[in-house]
């Protein structure tokens, strides 16, 4: 495995804009890895929202209430203040695990920047819209051609160069495209073309993410995910489609082995 933090593969979910499905995706990836048998820890750096931490707390409560064993990563939430606590959490959670999943705030944050420097896989979720694209690049208002990378893209570029010089490691930057149902086809095509142009300039991979499904938000109080099929009983078409999205997303992330079967049929 890559060596971001002592042999553990560090996956950082980062986007300085909110509302992109970042925490929901981070939770599903962490639980997906745990469900396949990997040893997983998770660190929530957003001490204000605490979406990831609360999701896992809800999940633990559901497991106790139902008596069902639900694969859940070891997790904690940072206080947003202490550098010593951040370093201690990073080291402790990285001990004896295969993956460390870090969720960051939807804003500029010093701990998020430090987390990115430790990443082996950096995931930036974004919705398929030019509002979200503006985080990573700017386009001409008439032609929709990319005119320049954004400050955020330049920051990640410099971070990747520094990491390569420091220990020879490569940060795999993945832009995760969450599909919005209400965007019309022509605009979606323009966004797609802009992402393709920019990916060649700054070196990220663009992969399919999750759709704007109410079902993902509805599962938060119980801490469940689309992986917990026995909790649903009979699954409807929306559940099946959402599970397929997760399969495709996890495959496209191309995370290290062990490649045990994901998601029992």
Question: Could you tell me the CATH number of the domain that includes residue 154?
Answer: 3.40.50.300
Domain-located, residue 90:
yes
Q: Residues 125, 128, 134, CA angle at the centre, nearest 5°?
A: 75
Q: Give the single-character DSSP code of 128.
A: S
Whether residue 261 is contained in a domain is answered as no
Which residues sit opposite 211 in a β-bridge? 179
Which segment of 204-208, 213-217, 242-246 scores lowest on mean pLDDT? 213-217
The alpha carbons of the chain give a radius of gyration, in whole angstroms, of 18
Q: If you average pLDDT over residues 193-214, what whole number do you get?
A: 91
- pLDDT on residue 128: 85
The residue assigned the tokens 């992330």 is 253
- When pLDDT is cut at 50, 70 and 90, the band that residue 19 belongs to is confident
| 153 falls within a domain | yes
Strand partners, 103: 13, 44
Q: Domain containing 56: what range? A: 9-253
204: closest CA among 136, 109, 140? Answer: 136
Domain count for the chain, please give it.
Answer: 1
As a whole number, mean pLDDT of residues 228-241 equals 70
Which three-class secondary structure state does DSSP give residue 32? helix
Quote the pLDDT of residue 259.
Answer: 45
Single out the residue of 254, 253, 243, 137 nearest to residue 191, CA to CA.
Answer: 137
pLDDT of residue 200: 94
Confidence tier at 18 by pLDDT (50, 70, 90): confident
Residue 2, in any domain of the structure: no
Which residues share a beta bridge with 56?
Answer: none
Residue 66 lies in a domain: yes
* pLDDT of residue 158 exceeding 80: yes
pLDDT of 229 over the 70 cut: no
User: Within a domain: residue 58?
Assistant: yes
- Does 149 score more than 60 pLDDT? yes
In a domain, 1, yes or no: no
**Cα–Cα dist 183/128, whole Å:** 8
* 263 located within any domain: no
- Tens digit of pLDDT for each residue in 48-62? 899 999 999 999 999
């Amino acid at each position: 495995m890559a060596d971001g933090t002592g042999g553990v593969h560090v996956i950082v979910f980062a986007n300085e804009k909110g509302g992109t499905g970042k925490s929901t995706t981070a939770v599903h990836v962490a639980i997906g890895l745990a469900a396949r048998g990997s040893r997983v820890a998770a660190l929530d750096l957003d001490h204000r929202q605490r979406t990831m931490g609360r999701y896992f707390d809800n999940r633990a409560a559901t497991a106790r209430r139902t008596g069902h064993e639900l694969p859940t990563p070891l997790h904690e939430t940072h206080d947003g203040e202490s550098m010593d606590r951040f370093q201690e959490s990073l080291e402790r959670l990285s001990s004896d695990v295969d993956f460390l999943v870090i969720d960051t705030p939807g804003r500029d944050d010093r701990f998020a920047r430090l987390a990115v420097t430790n990443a082996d896989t950096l995931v930036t979720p974004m919705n398929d819209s030019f509002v979200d694209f503006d985080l990573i690049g700017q386009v001409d208002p008439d032609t929709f051609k990319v005119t320049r990378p954004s400050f955020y893209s330049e920051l990640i570029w410099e971070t990747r160069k520094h990491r390569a010089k420091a220990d020879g490691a490569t940060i795999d930057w993945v832009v995760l495209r969450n599909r919005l149902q209400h965007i019309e086809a022509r605009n979606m095509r323009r966004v797609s073309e802009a992402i393709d142009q920019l990916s060649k300039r700054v070196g990220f991979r663009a992969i399919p993410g999750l759709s704007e499904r109410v079902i993902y938000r509805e599962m938060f109080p119980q801490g469940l995910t689309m992986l917990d099929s026995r909790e649903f009983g009979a699954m409807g078409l929306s559940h099946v489609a959402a599970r397929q999205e997760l399969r495709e997303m996890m495959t496209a992330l191309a995370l290290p082995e062990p490649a045990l079967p994901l998601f029992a049929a």
